[in-house]
Structure 1
Protein backbone atom coordinates (compact mmCIF):
# COMPACT_ATOMS: atom_id res chain seq x y z
CA UNK A 1 0.00 0.00 0.00
CA UNK A 2 1.49 3.39 -0.95
CA UNK A 3 2.12 5.89 1.82
CA UNK A 4 -0.41 8.79 1.80
CA UNK A 5 1.09 12.17 0.97
CA UNK A 6 -1.18 13.99 3.45
CA UNK A 7 -2.97 12.91 6.65
CA UNK A 8 -6.59 11.82 6.41
CA UNK A 9 -7.45 14.17 9.30
CA UNK A 10 -5.24 17.26 8.86
CA UNK A 11 -7.41 19.29 11.26
CA UNK A 12 -6.24 17.05 14.14
CA UNK A 13 -2.63 16.72 12.98
CA UNK A 14 0.02 18.99 14.44
CA UNK A 15 3.74 18.80 15.19
CA UNK A 16 5.79 21.58 16.73
CA UNK A 17 8.80 20.06 14.94
CA UNK A 18 7.80 18.20 11.76
CA UNK A 19 11.43 17.62 10.71
CA UNK A 20 13.44 15.63 13.26
CA UNK A 21 16.67 16.17 11.33
CA UNK A 22 16.86 19.40 13.36
CA UNK A 23 17.22 17.42 16.60
CA UNK A 24 20.68 17.25 18.15
CA UNK A 25 20.09 13.75 19.50
CA UNK A 26 17.35 11.10 19.77
CA UNK A 27 14.29 11.98 21.83
CA UNK A 28 13.23 8.98 23.89
CA UNK A 29 9.58 8.67 24.89
CA UNK A 30 7.89 6.30 27.30
CA UNK A 31 4.84 4.60 25.79
CA UNK A 32 1.23 4.28 26.92
CA UNK A 33 -1.03 2.05 24.81
CA UNK A 34 -4.67 3.08 25.09
CA UNK A 35 -8.02 2.75 23.38
CA UNK A 36 -8.70 5.44 20.78
CA UNK A 37 -11.74 6.65 22.72
CA UNK A 38 -9.49 7.63 25.67
CA UNK A 39 -7.03 9.81 23.76
CA UNK A 40 -8.56 13.26 24.25
CA UNK A 41 -9.10 12.67 27.98
CA UNK A 42 -5.60 11.28 28.48
CA UNK A 43 -3.97 14.18 26.61
CA UNK A 44 -5.69 16.64 28.97
CA UNK A 45 -4.74 14.58 32.03
CA UNK A 46 -1.03 14.48 31.17
CA UNK A 47 -0.95 18.14 30.14
CA UNK A 48 -2.25 19.07 33.61
CA UNK A 49 -0.01 16.55 35.40
CA UNK A 50 3.18 17.68 33.65
CA UNK A 51 2.24 21.35 33.25
CA UNK A 52 2.98 21.42 29.52
CA UNK A 53 0.94 21.08 26.34
CA UNK A 54 1.06 18.24 23.85
CA UNK A 55 3.63 18.99 21.15
CA UNK A 56 2.41 16.55 18.52
CA UNK A 57 -0.72 14.69 17.52
CA UNK A 58 -0.80 12.40 14.51
CA UNK A 59 -3.87 10.46 13.34
CA UNK A 60 -2.58 7.63 11.13
CA UNK A 61 -5.67 5.54 10.25
CA UNK A 62 -3.84 3.88 7.34
CA UNK A 63 -1.24 2.45 9.75
CA UNK A 64 -3.34 0.11 11.85
CA UNK A 65 -5.90 2.73 12.88
CA UNK A 66 -3.46 4.53 15.17
CA UNK A 67 -3.43 8.05 16.57
CA UNK A 68 -0.41 9.31 18.49
CA UNK A 69 0.19 12.25 20.82
CA UNK A 70 3.25 13.32 22.80
CA UNK A 71 3.18 15.19 26.11
CA UNK A 72 6.58 15.80 27.68
CA UNK A 73 8.41 12.47 27.86
CA UNK A 74 5.33 10.34 27.11
CA UNK A 75 3.95 9.05 23.82
CA UNK A 76 0.27 8.12 23.90
CA UNK A 77 -0.47 5.46 21.30
CA UNK A 78 -4.20 5.08 20.70
CA UNK A 79 -5.73 2.34 18.57
CA UNK A 80 -9.19 1.27 17.48
CA UNK A 81 -8.13 -2.39 17.69
CA UNK A 82 -6.13 -4.64 19.99
CA UNK A 83 -2.39 -4.07 20.19
CA UNK A 84 -0.05 -6.80 19.00
CA UNK A 85 2.33 -8.60 21.39
CA UNK A 86 5.36 -6.85 19.88
CA UNK A 87 3.69 -3.44 20.33
CA UNK A 88 3.10 -4.26 24.00
CA UNK A 89 6.66 -5.53 24.47
CA UNK A 90 8.24 -2.40 22.98
CA UNK A 91 9.55 -0.28 25.85
CA UNK A 92 10.46 3.00 24.14
CA UNK A 93 9.73 5.10 21.08
CA UNK A 94 12.57 7.31 19.86
CA UNK A 95 12.29 10.24 17.48
CA UNK A 96 15.67 10.30 15.78
CA UNK A 97 17.38 12.91 13.57
CA UNK A 98 18.16 10.29 10.90
CA UNK A 99 16.92 6.72 10.87
CA UNK A 100 19.75 5.57 8.61
CA UNK A 101 22.43 7.19 10.77
CA UNK A 102 20.88 5.80 13.94
CA UNK A 103 20.79 2.26 12.57
CA UNK A 104 24.42 2.57 11.45
CA UNK A 105 25.36 3.57 15.00
CA UNK A 106 23.37 0.74 16.54
CA UNK A 107 24.84 -1.88 14.23
CA UNK A 108 28.25 -1.26 15.77
CA UNK A 109 27.04 -2.02 19.31
CA UNK A 110 25.13 -5.25 18.75
CA UNK A 111 21.59 -4.00 18.13
CA UNK A 112 19.31 -6.35 16.16
CA UNK A 113 16.86 -4.91 13.62
CA UNK A 114 13.54 -6.71 14.09
CA UNK A 115 11.53 -4.67 11.57
CA UNK A 116 13.56 -2.99 8.80
CA UNK A 117 13.02 0.66 7.85
CA UNK A 118 9.78 1.45 6.06
CA UNK A 119 8.24 4.75 4.93
CA UNK A 120 5.22 6.03 6.86
CA UNK A 121 3.34 9.32 6.73
CA UNK A 122 5.32 10.88 9.64
CA UNK A 123 8.62 9.91 7.91
CA UNK A 124 10.09 6.42 8.40
CA UNK A 125 10.28 3.80 11.14
CA UNK A 126 12.04 0.62 12.28
CA UNK A 127 11.90 -1.63 15.35
CA UNK A 128 15.06 -2.87 17.07
CA UNK A 129 16.26 -4.93 20.01
CA UNK A 130 19.00 -3.20 21.99
CA UNK A 131 21.97 -5.21 23.36
CA UNK A 132 20.28 -5.34 26.79
CA UNK A 133 17.23 -7.04 25.26
CA UNK A 134 14.97 -3.98 25.31
CA UNK A 135 12.74 -3.35 22.29
CA UNK A 136 12.52 0.15 20.84
CA UNK A 137 10.74 1.73 17.89
CA UNK A 138 12.74 4.33 15.99
CA UNK A 139 11.00 7.01 13.92
CA UNK A 140 12.40 9.86 11.89
CA UNK A 141 9.98 12.72 11.31
CA UNK A 142 9.77 14.50 7.99
CA UNK A 143 7.10 17.03 6.96
CA UNK A 144 4.39 16.00 4.52
CA UNK A 145 3.80 18.26 1.54
CA UNK A 146 2.87 21.70 2.79
CA UNK A 147 3.19 20.92 6.51
CA UNK A 148 4.39 23.74 8.73
CA UNK A 149 5.35 23.65 12.41
CA UNK A 150 2.42 24.48 14.67
CA UNK A 151 1.79 23.92 18.37
CA UNK A 152 -1.86 22.80 18.34
CA UNK A 153 -4.78 21.95 16.14
CA UNK A 154 -6.72 24.98 14.81
CA UNK A 155 -9.51 26.01 17.15
CA UNK A 156 -8.31 23.77 19.98
CA UNK A 157 -9.31 25.11 23.36
CA UNK A 158 -6.24 26.16 25.34
CA UNK A 159 -6.11 26.92 29.03
CA UNK A 160 -3.22 28.01 31.19
CA UNK A 161 -1.48 24.96 32.55
CA UNK A 162 -0.16 24.84 36.12
CA UNK A 163 3.55 24.85 36.85
CA UNK A 164 3.93 21.43 38.45
CA UNK A 165 7.65 20.63 38.33
CA UNK A 166 6.67 17.02 37.57
CA UNK A 167 8.48 14.94 34.93
CA UNK A 168 7.52 11.60 33.48
CA UNK A 169 10.44 9.46 32.26
CA UNK A 170 10.88 5.99 30.86
CA UNK A 171 12.40 3.69 33.50
CA UNK A 172 14.91 0.87 33.19
CA UNK A 173 15.93 -1.12 36.25
CA UNK A 174 18.96 -3.44 36.33
CA UNK A 175 20.97 -5.29 38.94
CA UNK A 176 23.38 -2.93 40.64
CA UNK A 177 26.33 -4.94 39.30
CA UNK A 178 25.21 -4.04 35.75
CA UNK A 179 24.40 -0.41 36.52
CA UNK A 180 27.53 1.29 35.17
CA UNK A 181 27.56 -0.77 31.97
CA UNK A 182 23.90 0.10 31.40
CA UNK A 183 24.59 3.80 31.94
CA UNK A 184 27.37 3.66 29.34
CA UNK A 185 25.14 1.75 26.91
CA UNK A 186 22.35 4.33 27.05
CA UNK A 187 24.78 7.21 26.84
CA UNK A 188 25.76 5.71 23.48
CA UNK A 189 22.22 4.85 22.39
CA UNK A 190 20.82 8.29 23.24
CA UNK A 191 24.01 10.19 22.32
CA UNK A 192 23.98 12.24 25.51
CA UNK A 193 25.84 11.97 28.84
CA UNK A 194 24.15 10.83 32.02
CA UNK A 195 23.16 13.64 34.36
CA UNK A 196 24.48 13.39 37.89
CA UNK A 197 21.37 13.50 40.08
CA UNK A 198 22.26 12.76 43.70
CA UNK A 199 19.08 14.38 45.07
CA UNK A 200 16.55 11.69 44.09
CA UNK A 201 15.00 9.53 46.79
CA UNK A 202 12.67 6.67 45.99
CA UNK A 203 10.88 3.68 47.46
CA UNK A 204 14.14 1.82 48.24
CA UNK A 205 17.87 2.58 48.29
CA UNK A 206 19.24 2.47 44.75
CA UNK A 207 21.71 4.14 42.44
CA UNK A 208 20.10 6.32 39.78
CA UNK A 209 21.13 8.12 36.62
CA UNK A 210 19.10 10.13 34.13
CA UNK A 211 20.09 9.79 30.48
CA UNK A 212 17.91 11.95 28.25
CA UNK A 213 14.33 11.02 29.13
CA UNK A 214 15.32 7.74 30.79
CA UNK A 215 15.75 6.99 34.49
CA UNK A 216 18.17 4.14 35.12
CA UNK A 217 17.89 2.41 38.49
CA UNK A 218 20.50 0.06 39.94
CA UNK A 219 18.68 -2.43 42.15
CA UNK A 220 20.64 -4.04 44.99
CA UNK A 221 21.24 -7.75 44.58
CA UNK A 222 19.15 -9.53 45.59
CA UNK A 223 16.42 -7.00 44.73
CA UNK A 224 14.10 -5.98 47.56
CA UNK A 225 11.16 -8.33 47.93
CA UNK A 226 8.25 -7.02 45.89
CA UNK A 227 10.36 -4.28 44.28
CA UNK A 228 8.23 -2.64 41.58
CA UNK A 229 9.32 -2.94 37.95
CA UNK A 230 7.21 -0.37 36.11
CA UNK A 231 8.40 1.01 32.78
CA UNK A 232 7.95 4.66 33.77
CA UNK A 233 9.04 6.94 36.60
CA UNK A 234 7.40 10.07 37.94
CA UNK A 235 9.87 12.67 39.23
CA UNK A 236 8.07 14.97 41.68
CA UNK A 237 9.27 17.90 43.80
CA UNK A 238 9.89 16.76 47.39
CA UNK A 239 7.26 17.83 49.88
CA UNK A 240 7.55 17.73 53.66
CA UNK A 241 3.77 17.58 53.92
CA UNK A 242 2.99 14.66 51.65
CA UNK A 243 5.18 11.62 51.13
CA UNK A 244 4.53 10.18 47.66
CA UNK A 245 3.41 6.62 47.11
CA UNK A 246 6.09 4.20 45.92
CA UNK A 247 4.08 3.40 42.79
CA UNK A 248 1.12 5.18 41.29
CA UNK A 249 -1.28 4.37 38.47
CA UNK A 250 -1.80 7.18 35.98
CA UNK A 251 -4.36 7.74 33.23
CA UNK A 252 -4.62 4.89 30.76
CA UNK A 253 -3.49 2.41 33.40
CA UNK A 254 0.14 3.54 33.15
CA UNK A 255 2.10 2.43 36.25
CA UNK A 256 4.87 4.76 37.41
CA UNK A 257 7.46 4.48 40.16
CA UNK A 258 7.59 7.75 42.13
CA UNK A 259 10.86 9.51 42.96
CA UNK A 260 11.17 12.72 44.96
CA UNK A 261 13.57 15.41 43.77
CA UNK A 262 15.07 17.39 46.64
CA UNK A 263 16.39 20.94 46.27
CA UNK A 264 20.13 21.44 46.39
CA UNK A 265 21.35 21.22 49.96
CA UNK A 266 18.13 19.67 51.26
CA UNK A 267 18.51 16.70 53.62
CA UNK A 268 17.69 13.26 52.25
CA UNK A 269 17.08 9.87 53.76
CA UNK A 270 20.45 8.16 54.31
CA UNK A 271 21.69 5.79 51.64
CA UNK A 272 24.07 2.85 51.98
CA UNK A 273 27.69 3.82 51.35
CA UNK A 274 28.71 3.23 47.74
CA UNK A 275 32.16 3.31 46.23
CA UNK A 276 32.49 5.84 43.41
CA UNK A 277 34.99 5.77 40.58
CA UNK A 278 35.76 8.20 37.82
CA UNK A 279 33.55 6.19 35.49
CA UNK A 280 30.60 6.98 37.78
CA UNK A 281 30.95 10.73 37.43
CA UNK A 282 27.79 10.95 35.34
CA UNK A 283 25.63 8.71 37.52
CA UNK A 284 24.06 10.03 40.71
CA UNK A 285 23.23 8.01 43.78
CA UNK A 286 19.56 8.17 44.56
Structure 2
Protein backbone atom coordinates (compact mmCIF):
# COMPACT_ATOMS: atom_id res chain seq x y z
CA UNK A 1 0.00 0.00 0.00
CA UNK A 2 1.32 3.45 -0.87
CA UNK A 3 0.29 6.83 0.48
CA UNK A 4 -2.93 7.99 -1.16
CA UNK A 5 -5.11 10.88 -0.07
CA UNK A 6 -7.69 13.14 -1.59
CA UNK A 7 -6.31 16.30 0.09
CA UNK A 8 -2.58 16.35 0.80
CA UNK A 9 -2.28 19.75 2.50
CA UNK A 10 -4.26 20.83 5.57
CA UNK A 11 -2.70 24.32 5.61
CA UNK A 12 -5.90 25.78 4.14
CA UNK A 13 -8.15 24.41 6.90
CA UNK A 14 -10.14 27.09 8.70
CA UNK A 15 -11.00 24.74 11.56
CA UNK A 16 -9.63 21.39 12.74
CA UNK A 17 -11.04 18.15 11.38
CA UNK A 18 -11.83 15.76 14.21
CA UNK A 19 -11.12 12.06 13.82
CA UNK A 20 -12.58 9.35 16.02
CA UNK A 21 -10.16 6.46 16.29
CA UNK A 22 -11.14 2.90 15.39
CA UNK A 23 -8.59 0.12 15.88
CA UNK A 24 -8.57 -2.72 13.37
CA UNK A 25 -6.77 -6.08 13.65
CA UNK A 26 -4.24 -7.10 10.98
CA UNK A 27 -5.95 -7.90 7.69
CA UNK A 28 -9.14 -6.05 8.68
CA UNK A 29 -8.58 -2.64 7.13
CA UNK A 30 -10.39 -3.29 3.84
CA UNK A 31 -13.45 -4.63 5.65
CA UNK A 32 -13.45 -1.68 8.06
CA UNK A 33 -13.15 0.81 5.20
CA UNK A 34 -16.11 -0.84 3.46
CA UNK A 35 -18.19 -0.75 6.64
CA UNK A 36 -17.56 2.96 7.29
CA UNK A 37 -18.04 3.90 3.63
CA UNK A 38 -21.44 2.18 3.62
CA UNK A 39 -22.39 3.56 7.04
CA UNK A 40 -21.47 7.16 6.29
CA UNK A 41 -22.15 7.24 2.56
CA UNK A 42 -18.68 8.67 1.82
CA UNK A 43 -15.51 7.27 0.29
CA UNK A 44 -12.20 6.79 2.08
CA UNK A 45 -10.03 9.86 1.60
CA UNK A 46 -6.69 8.65 2.94
CA UNK A 47 -4.75 5.37 2.86
CA UNK A 48 -1.20 5.11 4.10
CA UNK A 49 1.20 2.62 5.56
CA UNK A 50 3.08 3.71 8.69
CA UNK A 51 5.86 1.11 8.66
CA UNK A 52 7.89 2.86 11.38
CA UNK A 53 5.07 2.03 13.80
CA UNK A 54 3.88 -1.23 12.21
CA UNK A 55 0.53 0.31 11.24
CA UNK A 56 -1.67 1.00 8.25
CA UNK A 57 -4.03 3.98 8.36
CA UNK A 58 -7.14 5.09 6.51
CA UNK A 59 -9.70 7.84 7.00
CA UNK A 60 -13.37 7.60 6.13
CA UNK A 61 -15.43 10.63 7.07
CA UNK A 62 -14.77 11.37 10.72
CA UNK A 63 -13.04 8.05 11.41
CA UNK A 64 -9.32 7.34 11.53
CA UNK A 65 -8.88 3.59 11.06
CA UNK A 66 -5.69 2.24 12.60
CA UNK A 67 -4.73 -1.29 11.58
CA UNK A 68 -2.09 -3.22 13.48
CA UNK A 69 -1.36 -6.06 15.86
CA UNK A 70 -2.62 -5.55 19.40
CA UNK A 71 0.87 -5.00 20.81
CA UNK A 72 1.51 -2.42 18.07
CA UNK A 73 -1.69 -0.41 18.57
CA UNK A 74 -1.66 -0.61 22.37
CA UNK A 75 0.52 2.51 22.86
CA UNK A 76 -1.92 4.50 20.68
CA UNK A 77 -5.05 3.56 22.62
CA UNK A 78 -4.38 6.19 25.29
CA UNK A 79 -4.95 8.92 22.69
CA UNK A 80 -8.59 10.02 22.68
CA UNK A 81 -8.65 11.50 19.19
CA UNK A 82 -6.83 13.19 16.35
CA UNK A 83 -7.16 16.73 15.04
CA UNK A 84 -6.12 17.55 11.49
CA UNK A 85 -4.96 21.17 11.74
CA UNK A 86 -3.59 23.94 9.52
CA UNK A 87 -0.22 24.14 11.31
CA UNK A 88 1.02 22.26 14.37
CA UNK A 89 3.35 25.09 15.48
CA UNK A 90 0.52 27.39 16.56
CA UNK A 91 -1.24 24.63 18.45
CA UNK A 92 1.98 23.55 20.13
CA UNK A 93 2.61 27.09 21.35
CA UNK A 94 -0.97 27.61 22.60
CA UNK A 95 -1.04 24.24 24.34
CA UNK A 96 2.23 24.95 26.14
CA UNK A 97 0.93 28.38 27.20
CA UNK A 98 -2.24 26.75 28.57
CA UNK A 99 -0.31 24.22 30.65
CA UNK A 100 -0.79 21.14 28.47
CA UNK A 101 1.87 18.42 28.60
CA UNK A 102 3.46 17.60 25.26
CA UNK A 103 3.73 13.82 25.57
CA UNK A 104 5.21 13.24 22.10
CA UNK A 105 7.01 16.22 20.50
CA UNK A 106 6.55 17.12 16.84
CA UNK A 107 7.84 14.42 14.51
CA UNK A 108 7.59 13.73 10.81
CA UNK A 109 4.81 11.26 10.01
CA UNK A 110 3.89 9.76 6.62
CA UNK A 111 1.35 12.55 5.99
CA UNK A 112 3.36 15.53 7.31
CA UNK A 113 4.11 16.34 10.94
CA UNK A 114 2.35 15.61 14.22
CA UNK A 115 2.60 15.63 17.99
CA UNK A 116 0.56 14.47 20.97
CA UNK A 117 -0.49 16.49 24.01
CA UNK A 118 -2.27 15.80 27.29
CA UNK A 119 -4.67 18.66 27.98
CA UNK A 120 -5.03 19.99 31.55
CA UNK A 121 -8.26 17.96 31.91
CA UNK A 122 -6.42 14.74 30.98
CA UNK A 123 -7.66 14.45 27.39
CA UNK A 124 -4.91 13.15 25.09
CA UNK A 125 -5.03 14.48 21.52
CA UNK A 126 -2.81 13.94 18.49
CA UNK A 127 -2.38 17.08 16.35
CA UNK A 128 -1.45 16.47 12.71
CA UNK A 129 -0.66 18.86 9.85
CA UNK A 130 -0.87 17.22 6.45
CA UNK A 131 1.72 18.44 3.98
CA UNK A 132 2.41 17.30 0.42
CA UNK A 133 5.07 14.64 0.07
CA UNK A 134 7.64 14.87 -2.77
CA UNK A 135 5.70 12.46 -4.99
CA UNK A 136 2.50 14.52 -4.54
CA UNK A 137 3.84 17.90 -5.66
Residue 144 of structure 1 aligns with which residue?
133
Higher Rg of the two aligned structures = 1
Q: Is the 8 A contact 2:115 2:128 kept in 1?
A: yes
Q: Which runs of 5 or more residues in structure 2 are unaligned?
A: none
Residue 24 of structure 2 aligns with which residue?
34
Aligned with residue 16 of structure 1, among 6, 13, 32: 6
* 1:87 maps onto 2:79 in alignment: no
Q: Which has the higher helix share?
A: 2
Q: Is the 8 A contact 2:84 2:128 kept in 1?
A: yes
Q: Is the 8 A contact 1:65 1:81 kept in 2?
A: no
* Cα distance between partner residues in 2 of 1:88 and 1:81: 10
* Cα distance between partner residues in 1 of 2:103 and 2:67: 22
Q: Deviations over 1:230-273 (max 9, x none)?
A: xxxxxxxxxxxxxxxxxxxxxxxxxxxxxxxxxxxxxxxxxxxx
Aligned with residue 69 of structure 1, among 54, 58, 61: 58
* Cα distance between partner residues in 1 of 2:21 and 2:85: 16
Q: Is the 8 A contact 1:125 1:140 kept in 2?
A: yes
Q: Is the 8 A contact 2:55 2:72 kept in 1?
A: no
Moved over 4 A (4+): none
Q: Deviations over 1:107-158 (max 9, x none)?
A: 222211001111122111111101210111111111111316xxxxxxxxxx
- Higher relative contact order by CA 8 Å / sep ≥ 6: 1 or 2? 2
Residue 117 of structure 1 aligns with which residue?
106
Aligned residues: 137
* Cα distance between partner residues in 1 of 2:86 and 2:45: 17
Aligned with residue 118 of structure 2, among 129, 132, 136: 129
Residue 89 of structure 2 aligns with which residue?
100
Q: Is the 8 A contact 2:54 2:72 kept in 1?
A: no
Give the TM-score taking structure 2 as reference length.
0.91
SS of equivalent residue, structure 2 residue 56: strand
Calculate the aligned-residue CA RMSD, in Å.
1.6
* Cα distance between partner residues in 2 of 1:105 and 1:89: 22
Give the TM-score taking structure 1 as reference length.
0.46
Deviation at 1:80, TM superposition (A): 4.0
Deviation at 1:85, TM superposition (A): 4.3
